[in-house]
Amino acid sequence: MIKRWRKKWFRKQRHFRRSLKNSRLHAIFGKRVFHPHVWKSDRRSIAGGLAIGLFIAFMPIPFQMLVAAAFTIFLKVNLPISVAACWITNPLTMGPIFGAAYALGKYLLTQHLDAITVVNGFSPLVNIAKVLHHALYLTTGSLIFSVLAAVGGYLAVLILWSVAGIVSHKIHPVRIPPDTDLCPPLPVAPPHADHPLSE
């Protein structure tokens, strides 16, 4: 099952790589999009790519996939995972996620009035202060969501990767040949050595 999943994943990754030719990402980042480091599928690369994608996905910023791709190329982790993770915040989920982030940020900041006082000091106009308040609420809650999602995603990949390795080892145990230098083969006794023929 694991081998079948890996073949399917590599097949999809090759298809995604071909689709990037002459795309917007290719036009912006050039040949760095096709560098082998951003297409590796080891544990560190997958976990890092997912963490970057989840962190960017929960931030209320435009061009999330471009930002995620830039960090992915810079840190040399898996590009397809990072870009795909950005789609967690899509037109269907964006409202509930950012609404919850706004509510969390407002709850936390209203408990500490110093932050609101600082904002009021930089914005003497009432309307500007209200806009900054809303932006501060949303940014604070989104940043908390981003950190939690990135850390959780990274740790989840490490745990699942270890579990998959244990399961695969139990199903297909690795047979290590004996070291003939440290453990020389036992001498083979000649036939009928224990029961010699009587004369």
Classify residue 193 by its DSSP letter.
Answer: S
Task: For residue 71, give the nearest of 79, 80, 63 by alpha carbon.
Answer: 79
Where do runs of H (alpha helix) occur along the chain?
Answer: 2-19, 24-29, 43-57, 64-75, 79-85, 94-110, 113-122, 126-171
pLDDT in tens, the chain (199 residues): 556 666 666 677 777 777 777 777 777 888 888 877 888 888 899 999 999 999 999 999 999 999 999 999 999 899 989 999 999 999 999 999 999 999 999 888 877 655 555 555 555 555 666 777 788 889 999 999 999 999 999 999 999 988 877 766 555 544 445 444 444 555 555 555 555 444 4
Instruction: Indicate the pTM of the whole model.
Output: 0.72
> In the chain, what's the furthest Cα-to-Cα distance?
120
Residue 197: phi, psi to the nearest 5? -70, 140
Closest CA to 5 of 53, 41, 38: 41
Q: What's the pLDDT score for residue 171? A: 53
Contact criterion met (CB below 8 Å) for 86 and 68: yes
CB 80 within 8 A of CB 16: yes
The one-letter amino acid code at 170 reads K
Per-residue pLDDT, 178: 45
